[in-house]
Amino acid sequence: MAPQRPSGSPVDKAGLGLKFLGTSVLAGLLVAGMALPAVGALGLTAKDTAESFNNIPDDFKTPPLSQASYIYDAKGGVIAKVFDRDRTVLTKDQMAPIMRQAQVDIEDNRFFEHGAIDLKGILRAAGKNAESGSAAQGASTLTQQYVKNVNVEKAGDDQAAFLDATRKSMGRKIQELKYAIKLEEDLSKDQILTNYLNITFYGHQAYGVEAAAGRYFSKSAKDLTIPEAAMLAGLVQNPTAYDPVLHPQAAQIRRNTVINKLLEYKHISPQEAKDALAAPLGIKYKEPLNGCITAQAGMGFFCDYVRHVVKMDPVFGKTQADRQKLWSQGGLKIYTTIDPDKQAAAYKAVTTKVNPTDDVSAAMTMIKPGTGEILAMAQTRPYGLDDKQHQTVVNLNVDAAMGGGNGFSPGSTFKPILAAAALESGIPLTQQYPSEFQIPYPTMTTCDGSWKSDGSTVENENKSEVGPFGMKEAMARSVNTYFVELGQQVGLCPMKQMVNKLGIKTLASGKPLIQQPSTILGAVEVSPMRMAAVYAAFAARGLYCDPIAISSVVAADGKKMAVPPANCTQAMSESTADGVNTLLKTVTEKGTAANIKINDGREFAGKTGTTDNRYAAWFNGYTPDIATAVWLGGPGGNVSMRNIRIGGEYFSSVYGSDGPGPIWQMAMNDAVAGTPKSTFQLVSIPDPAGAPAGTPAPPAGDGTAANGGATPGDNTTGLINGGFTLPPGVITGGTTGGKPGKPGHH
């Protein structure tokens, strides 16, 4: 590269020639055909042109340039680069000086000497065009080209506006000239050149010189060499014809033209020119990878969730249009809560235990108790649109409005919510009920009346499960009839209120929750993220926090933006949460989840759950520091997990303890490795007098079917309805009622 130029060089100083032309001179030049030879044929006069010029408003505004946004994990690693236009805006100092000079020398070598209009250039072009009888040679200055690019940028995806901004017309030419004059009043030549290099299109979705340097040479614009800068500068005239990927020979010829211009104007030495001309194109092309599909470690779904948050949450704009504009404008640096180590653990577990080609999928969300921070979000099938590769863009961890599906019945993992409502209402942990093998669904009070019993029944999984039971053994065994009896005493209204306090305001589909006895046994459709947040509240001694994905956002102007808050509230008393934690720790010690372990022996609690026909199986478990919900089932909720192979292993019937349980165990062992151990605040629960000693439930058992232990019979949807008959057409939590049938399984 040439030695450093003295400060008085053309690149460093401007204003050495005319800056403005009077409107009458401008009009005369135009009508004479010096800029547009066809003007005379249009019948325009000098007076017409001058009036048109004067009528153009001079409040030319340059819009913020749309550019790429970056989404980062909690440790600063890039999750994905997302953009409508791949652009990174640079300052003058972030661009190689040779790049700036090459662009000037090939596009407008007198840029630093003339004003907004290059009189000499116009006269030269007029002479050439008169000789040829056509508009073969233009005379637009670099400032005028910048004005045109701004108008194209403003047009965005509006095709009509784009055509207007690029139309070869007298009106547009006059408008560009006036705006160019205005710009040179307001900005220095260096500022205009910097803006030009940031806005210009260089082909292959690369807008601005930084994106172009990355696309073609896999480097930053500040590191460009003479031949590299010359090639990029030459692209501007026609990015298609001089495309170095598709037309390398044409690109090299064009590059050499730029190098010779640099030599002609003495901005490089003869030796530098010789070396540059001898250099190969040296293309190191990088595909314009864009969006969440580029995310690694299965973070595409989390990335997509972040996109939904920005586009949906009012904190990012009052209207949907405002939020869409923010996203499209880009330039955001979005820092998220995702922990890359825990994400890797979650992704490894779901993809190791379940194959993408299996009929079923697994989904897992990890949340940090007391903060709502989403630490990991993973699922079995890869993010994408290729069905042949078993890809999907449906995020099975979240609600439909945020890019997910309609959720899944959580089965017995909903029972702890009733337990919390019961403890809050003053019912003790030692509360006993007869808990016979089979009982009728009793009449229950609701927030606005009552649910009337119709004689339909609910039963336990095993005929040996006959009480009386207290709450501890009933939770460990997941005794259906006990929790229905508890629900009758508590009432459905306190249950619904507790569900709401724990963040579940609607079904995953967005439909309203309905008060019905089957809700106690999990006959609702919710997402894994919502269940992880519920169990995180238990771990945080009753403090519920909305799940949050974004920790901070820096806007394109460098200012910090507000982000959605966690809205933490005390959903239940600490003593109630301590009681629930004690119950759920019993589940993992000697109940349905006794076969699930953490290698370092730390405390954890949790609850298993399955639904009738094994359409879904869950294990929601937690330490005081991480709450993790794991769902396993058919993505459409209609795959029966009986006599099935999952991850190469045969299952005669999937339970929460042997399906999702091992997935949870693998992920959590990796996630907590090397971290400090925390303990729960537990309470003492004496065995109630007269309760049978019993034995722990077998590890394979894992609680109730979501239909209360009944087969849905002629249920047309194949989903879960609480195991009792409802009038035709009545919707129960998104499920159509069917006749009671044979006993289901835990």
Domain ranges across the chain: 23-67+90-278, 379-736
Beta strands 333-336 and 69-72, pairing class:
parallel
Q: Which residues contact 632 (CB under 8 A, 6 or more apart)?
A: 354, 360, 361, 362, 616, 617, 618, 641, 646, 654, 659, 660, 663
b vs e for 489-528, b when ≥16 Cβ sit within 10 Å of the residue's Cβ? ebbbbbbbebbebbbbebbbbebebbbbbbbbbbbbbbbb
The token pair at 524 is 């609702």
- How far is the C-alpha of 27 from the C-alpha of 51, rounded, in Å? 9
Q: Which residues contact 8 (CB under 8 A, 6 or more apart)?
A: none
Report pLDDT for 183. Answer: 85
Report pLDDT for 680. Answer: 97
Other Cβ atoms less than 10 A from the Cβ of 243: the count is 17
Q: Which residues contact 301 (CB under 8 A, 6 or more apart)?
A: 292, 377, 378, 379, 383, 395, 397, 403
- How far is the C-alpha of 282 from the C-alpha of 275, rounded, in Å? 13
- Whether 628 and 620 have beta carbons less than 8 Å apart is answered as yes
Report pLDDT for 471. Answer: 97
pLDDT along the chain (746 residues), means of 10: 40 39 46 42 44 57 83 96 89 97 95 78 55 52 89 73 66 77 88 95 94 96 98 96 96 97 97 97 89 91 97 96 91 97 98 96 98 98 88 96 96 97 97 93 93 88 90 96 96 97 97 93 96 98 98 95 98 98 97 96 96 94 98 94 96 96 98 96 79 42 38 26 28 29 36
User: Under the phi-then-psi rule, with left for phi > 0, alpha for psi from -120 to 50, and beta for the rest, what region is 713?
Assistant: left
- Whether 737 and 717 have beta carbons less than 8 Å apart is answered as no
Residue 78, beta-bridge partner list: 72
Q: What does each C-alpha distance from 74 to 77, 315, 375, 470, 549 come to in angstroms?
A: 7, 21, 9, 44, 10
CATH of range 379-736; options 3.30.70.20, 3.40.50.620, 3.40.50.1000, 3.40.710.10? 3.40.710.10
CATH of range 23-67+90-278; options 3.40.50.10310, 3.40.50.300, 1.10.3810.10, 3.30.420.40? 1.10.3810.10
DSSP state letters, 210-258: HHHHHHHHSS-GGG--HHHHHHHHHHTT-TTTT-TTT-HHHHHHHHHHH
- How far is the C-alpha of 629 from the C-alpha of 397, rounded, in Å? 9
Question: What DSSP character marks residue 640?
Answer: -
DSSP state letters, 75-113: TS-EEEEE-SSB-----GGGS-HHHHHHHHHHH-TTTTT
User: Under the phi-then-psi rule, with left for phi > 0, alpha for psi from -120 to 50, and beta for the rest, what region is 617?
Assistant: beta
- Whether 602 and 672 have beta carbons less than 8 Å apart is answered as yes
Report pLDDT for 84. Answer: 79
Report pLDDT for 168. Answer: 67
- pLDDT (tens digit per residue) in 312-370: 999 999 999 999 989 988 999 999 999 999 999 999 999 999 999 999 999 999 999 99
Q: Which residues contact 388 (CB under 8 A, 6 or more apart)?
A: none
Report pLDDT for 224. Answer: 98
Nearest alpha carbon to residue 620 among 547, 517, 529, 484: 529
Question: What DSSP character marks residue 3?
Answer: P
Helix boundaries (H) for 478-555: 480-490, 492-501, 528-539
- How far is the C-alpha of 113 from the C-alpha of 115, rounded, in Å? 7
Report pLDDT for 742. Answer: 31
